[in-house]
């Protein structure tokens, strides 16, 4: 099902692979997370011929595992990362304007247990004289939040911070424990669906008509005699291309990727820390939180967060060094740590196992550092060239190291500037004020816009409102094309036409792509046997899978959900799983 969104519908995969094979693009970007997508957009819009390849699905790494905060990073002030916080606040404000359908203000509430504690700890940490996480009292928070306010003043930012007395904070959150003396409130941002930002960046590039191709499930494996070898993980073949410059945007895989391309020993650049989140279906907690995020200290003093996202409560996260970014999942001790923290801030809330509807983990691509604790590893970003010792052994590799999701535009801009310099090209345009996808011409009065489109398309008002919140103003073309859509069994909020549209337009290859990244079905706790069957039917039809292949794909997906995402066996429809349950 193709819909005219002002872009040529994507060519079949084989055609796009053929376009890459034996090509001599100016730039090959390795990695289709948010940072790879960002530099790809910068280069393509500036007339550079660029290919992007991801070994898995786009955003299968850290870019779908974040806490979904679009933030300055209050905590980073303790580590003295003032420039990062300043840059991140600027980028947060830009995203609120450039992608208003996906990035929205988020009121944040910080429960405070003491007035002064941490006042000395922050400067001591900054000077490297202590490593221990400490509790943060009202005074150091006041200083940090004042920095936020001073910096964002006059920059189209958000309302100033405020302090709530114990009486007021208990009136708002009666469940807080007795030790809470007051609370601070301030505004940051949240991104509802970060994977869509990447999809829309690719669509924007296609719409601009640049010489650019982005392909998922295409792994850069090594350099052969004919150039960089990329393995097609769908069809099984390989293609080769000869870029002038390689950009290594492989996140936590930066070092592994360098070691595939350049002669060892390559310098170690990144060290990953794993973070996990739980999506909890708890009506009581959902009601308590409302539209606020609670930004709280866990028992060990580490900052954790919880807020309502897609009808579930998102709670996280952890921060643990891991050697292998390909083998991460939320372990039992992490899950216990997250639940203990929840109980520490809301002692009366009981979470049952069956209320944990989805779990996800990812690896932060942090720079190698001598920091004593993971929390002290710098969160900023920088680039580093890897130039071959033997001239011509491989193209120069520009490595993108570190970076927050929030700062992706600035990081992409930095890497693009380095690349343009090396190619001897001048920048033609920038992205500071460029709308992303459905953020273009976003209505000042969304309700009137929705009412008008509902009248024209014949779709019910709430459905058009959902489409606006998912796709921004792209909803206009979609709503008209979805007229006559049918609901899907077990998948409230999605229709046959919407799923068919995503499959046809957005390089969907697997059930996981569809359920975890192109939609928020998994995050919204909707994944069960019926939902998986409905998605598998649409995907099998579009891809021409046989009955056996469909069954094998469903079974593999369910195994993955059981092993990595904490979905209860009893929720899945795979007969093999049910047999195991019966045998237990």
Ligand X SMILES: Cc1cc2nc3c(=O)[nH]c(=O)nc-3n(C[C@H](O)[C@H](O)[C@H](O)COP(=O)(O)OP(=O)(O)OC[C@H]3O[C@@H](n4cnc5c(N)ncnc54)[C@H](O)[C@@H]3O)c2cc1C
Does residue number 401 form part of the binding site for ligand X (CB under 6 A)?
no
Least distance CB 401 / ligand X (angstroms): 9
Q: Give the interface size with ligand X as a residue count (CB under 6 A).
A: 38
Nearer to ligand X, 169 or 215 (CB): 215
Q: How far apart are CA 157 and CA 163, in angstroms?
A: 19
Nearer to ligand X, 161 or 404 (CB): 404
Shortest Cβ distance from residue 561 to ligand X (Å)? 19
Q: Tell which residue, 104, 4, 198, 69, has the closest CA to residue 469.
A: 104
Measured between alpha carbons, how far is 150 from 165 in angstroms, rounded to an integer?
A: 23
Near ligand X in 254-293, by CB under 6 A: 257, 275
Q: Which stretch binds ligand X (CB under 6 A): 34-42, 142-150, 533-541, 553-561?
A: 34-42
Pick 68 or 196: Cβ nearer ligand X: 68
Choosing from 62, 183, 184, 516, the residue that interacts with ligand X (CB under 6 A) is 62
Query: Under the criterion CB under 6 A, does residue 34 sit at the interface with ligand X?
Result: yes
Does the footprint of ligand X cover residue 252 (CB under 6 A)? Answer: yes
d(CA 403, CA 410) in angstroms, rounded, equals 9
CA dist 275 and 328 (Å) reads 9
Segment interacting with ligand X (CB under 6 A) among 8-16, 251-259, 417-425, 527-535: 251-259
Q: Smallest Cα–Cα separation from 251: which of 535, 54, 21?
A: 54
Judged by CB under 6 A, the stretch of 244-252, 340-348, 370-378, 517-525 that binds ligand X is 244-252
* 189 part of the interface to ligand X, by CB under 6 A: no
Q: Could you give the CA distance from residue 100 to residue 104 in angstroms, rounded to a whole number?
A: 6
Show contacts of 429-433: CB within 8 Å, 24+ apart: 429/45, 429/46, 431/41, 431/42, 431/45, 432/94, 433/94, 433/97, 433/98
Residues contacting 489, CB < 8 A, separation 6+: 530, 533, 534
What is the rounded distance in angstroms from the CA atom of residue 284 to the CA atom of residue 318?
Answer: 24
CB of 299 to ligand X, least distance (A): 19
* Residue 103: CB minimum distance to ligand X, A: 11
Shortest spacing between CB 383 and ligand X, in angstroms: 12
Contact (CB, 8 A) for 468 and 506: no
Residues 219-238 interacting with ligand X (rule: CB under 6 A): 219-220
Instruction: Note whether 251 binds ligand X by CB under 6 A.
Output: yes
Q: What are phi and psi of 217, to 5 degrees?
A: 50, 40
Which of 249, 308 has the CB closer to ligand X? Answer: 249
Q: Compare residues 245 and 250 and give the one whose CB is closer to ligand X.
A: 250
List the interface residues with ligand X, window 345-374 (CB under 6 A). 362-365
Residue choice 44, 66, 465, 561 for contact with ligand X (CB under 6 A): 66
**Radius of gyration, alpha carbons of the chain:** 24
Q: What angle do CA 444, 187, 433 make, to 5 degrees?
A: 50
The site for ligand X (CB under 6 A) is made up of 30-36, 53-56, 60-63, 65-69, 219-220, 249-253, 257, 275, 317, 362-365, 403-406
């Amino acid at each position: 099902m193709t819909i005219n969104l002002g872009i040529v519908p994507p060519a079949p995969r084989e055609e796009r692979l053929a376009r890459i094979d034996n090509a001599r693009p100016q730039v090959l970007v390795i990695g289709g997370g948010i940072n790879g997508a960002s530099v790809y957009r910068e280069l393509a819009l500036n007339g550079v011929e660029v290919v992007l390849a991801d070994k898995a699905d786009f955003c299968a790494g850290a870019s779908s595992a974040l806490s979904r905060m679009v933030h300055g990073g209050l905590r980073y002030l303790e580590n003295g990362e003032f420039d990062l916080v300043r840059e991140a606040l600027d980028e947060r404000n830009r995203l609120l304007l450039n992608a208003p359908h996906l990035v929205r203000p988020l009121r944040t509430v910080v429960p405070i247990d003491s007035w002064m504690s941490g006042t000395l700890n922050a400067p001591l940490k900054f000077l490297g004289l202590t490593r221990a996480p400490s509790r943060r009292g009202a005074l150091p928070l006041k200083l940090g939040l004042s920095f936020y306010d001073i910096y964002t003043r006059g920059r189209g930012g958000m309302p100033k911070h405020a302090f709530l007395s114990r009486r007021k904070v208990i009136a708002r959150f009666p469940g807080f424990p007795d030790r809470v003396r007051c609370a601070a409130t301030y505004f940051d941002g949240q991104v509802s669906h970060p994977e869509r930002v990447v999809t829309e960046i690719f669509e924007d590039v296609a719409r601009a008509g640049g010489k650019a191709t982005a392909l998922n499930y295409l792994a850069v494996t090594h350099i052969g005699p004919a150039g960089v070898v990329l393995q097609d993980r769908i069809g099984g073949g390989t293609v080769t291309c000869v870029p002038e410059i390689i950009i290594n945007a492989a996140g936590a895989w930066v070092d592994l990727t360098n070691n595939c391309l350049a002669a060892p020993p390559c310098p170690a650049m990144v060290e990953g820390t794993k973070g996990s989140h739980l999506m909890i279906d708890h009506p009581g907690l959902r009601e308590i939180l409302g539209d606020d995020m609670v930004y709280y200290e866990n028992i060990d003093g580490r900052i954790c967060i919880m807020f309502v996202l897609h009808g579930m409560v998102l709670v996280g996260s952890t921060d643990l060094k891991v050697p292998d970014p390909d083998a991460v999942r939320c372990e039992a001790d992490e899950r216990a740590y997250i639940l203990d923290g929840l109980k520490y801030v809301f002692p009366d809330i009981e979470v049952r196992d069956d209320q944990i509807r989805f779990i996800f983990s990812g690896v932060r691509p942090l720079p190698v550092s001598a920091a004593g604790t993971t929390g002290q590893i710098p969160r900023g970003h920088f680039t580093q060239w890897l130039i071959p010792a033997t001239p011509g052994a491989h193209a120069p590799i520009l490595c993108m190291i570190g970076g927050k999701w929030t700062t992706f535009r600035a990081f992409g801009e930095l890497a693009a500037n380095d690349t343009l310099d090396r190619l001897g090209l001048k920048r033609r345009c920038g992205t500071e004020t460029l709308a992303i996808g459905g953020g273009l011409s976003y209505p000042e009065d969304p309700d009137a816009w929705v009412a008008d489109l509902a009248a024209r398309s014949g779709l019910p008002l709430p459905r058009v409102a959902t489409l606006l919140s998912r796709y921004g103003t792209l909803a206009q073309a979609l709503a008209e094309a979805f007229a006559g859509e049918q609901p899907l069994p077990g998948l409230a909020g999605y229709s046959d036409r919407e799923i068919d549209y995503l499959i046809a337009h957005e390089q969907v290859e697997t059930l996981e792509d569809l359920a975890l990244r192109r939609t928020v079905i998994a995050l919204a706790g909707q994944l069960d046997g019926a939902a998986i069957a409905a998605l598998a039917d649409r995907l099998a039809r579009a891809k021409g899978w046989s009955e056996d292949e469909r069954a094998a794909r469903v079974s593999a997906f369910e195994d993955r959900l059981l092993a990595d995402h904490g979905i209860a066996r009893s929720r899945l429809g795979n007969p093999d799983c049910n047999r195991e349950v019966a045998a237990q």
